[in-house]
A and B are shown apart, each in its own frame.
Chain A
Amino acid sequence: MQIIQPHYHAIARTAQDYERMAMSGVVAVCEPAFWAGYDRRYPETFIDYFAQISEFEPTRAAEFGIRHFCWVAVNPKEAENKELTDEVLRLMPEFFNKPNCLGVGETGLHKSTPNEIESLQAHVDMAMKHGQLVLIHTPHLADKAHGTKTVLEVLAGMDVDPNRIWIDHVEEQTIESVLDAGYWAGMTLYPVTKCSPRRAVDILEKYPTERLLVNSSADWGPSDPFTLQESIVEFRRRGHSLQEAIEIYHNNPCRFLGQNPKWDIKPIVCSES
């Protein structure tokens, strides 16, 4: 089965991950810009990072026959530094021209501070002006419900096309509000801290799947790129067909990301019923 990893922080992972993903059917990964584990001090550091994920990382993925795409943004945690954020935002549009850059992400909220909210608005505004897709991070654990509500309130006050915005890391307590507002919703499958492979399949069975995306977890912390495959196995074990699995784990990412013409991987139909 062909699989797309819609949210994958490749710079924190090994070549062995690429090799194993390729062997398990992964055909493409999408790498949002994220927090490096420490707060960066210089706008230029972000520019180098954006260059790494838009120029070098695709070559590393290609070694294993995997397509690599990226997103650029100042992540919510570092968005607390307003001066840094403003300068990175000023320099960011040049990366929209990179052949693998799909849009602005991951912006969003971490602690839902005024500076984070201002940064989220600036990122979304920039994306809309440049015709870019948007990937929005929602907070972790105890901050998630409040932060997701705040994200939706911020977006409700802006002139946006909900179909071009993906709100990520939804769980049982936040998914309904995201879907009801017309956005795409992403589940991120972590070994401990976010959604799990089984709970993701529960959500897939409970809600309409047309605007749902499923991500593994792949970063520098405790995470596992193969939670996505675990989820697929669980989905199939419950009796869902191969085509239904393809719709969710391959075709839905194609439908959302394909709104950017740089994404040229098309939805597929399998011959098996």
Chain B
Amino acid sequence: MLSAQETLDTYYLEARRDLLEIAAFLDRYDRAVERDGAKAGDESKRESLLEAAKLLSQPDHPQANRAEQLLVHFAKIA
């Protein structure tokens, strides 16, 4: 198994890439809203992602089960 430092060093760039993709996706949505002059009729997917981001931004997860929590959270979206 990897040490804490090895874990960070091994996966940091991939996590950075994935966050950039999410940021770009949210920007893409905002530009579409601006272009169309209207929000999506159902914004629940966007709201769900922003809620998920809040969960990730909490530094302490003693059970190290963020993925499990997110899956439970996303299951609320049809």
Contact = CB atoms under 8 A, between A and B. Distances in A.
Given A196-B21, A199-B21, A205 B13 contact: no
B28 interface: yes
A196 to B, nearest CB: 6
Contacts of B28: 202
A228 to B, nearest CB: 18
Contact of A202 (B13, B14, B17, B27): B27
A59 interface: no
A193 B21 CA distance: 12
B45 interface: no
A206 interface: yes
Contacts of A270: none
A192 B21 contact: no
Contacts of B14: 192
Q: Please classify how large the interface on chain B is, using the bins under 10, 10 to 19, 20 to 34, 35 or more.
A: 10 to 19
Interface string B1-25: 0000000000001100100110011
A196 B31 contact: no
A111 interface: no
Contacts of B21: 196, 198-199
A68 to B, nearest CB: 30
A155 to B, nearest CB: 27
Given A205-B31, A206-B31, A199 B13 contact: no
Interface of B: 13-14, 17, 20-21, 24-25, 27-28, 31
Interface of A: 172, 192-193, 196, 198-199, 202, 205-206
22 contacts: A172-B24, A192-B13, A192-B14, A192-B17, A193-B13, A193-B17, A196-B17, A196-B20, A196-B21, A196-B24, A198-B21, A198-B24, A198-B25, A199-B20, A199-B21, A199-B24, A202-B24, A202-B27, A202-B28, A202-B31, A205-B31, A206-B31
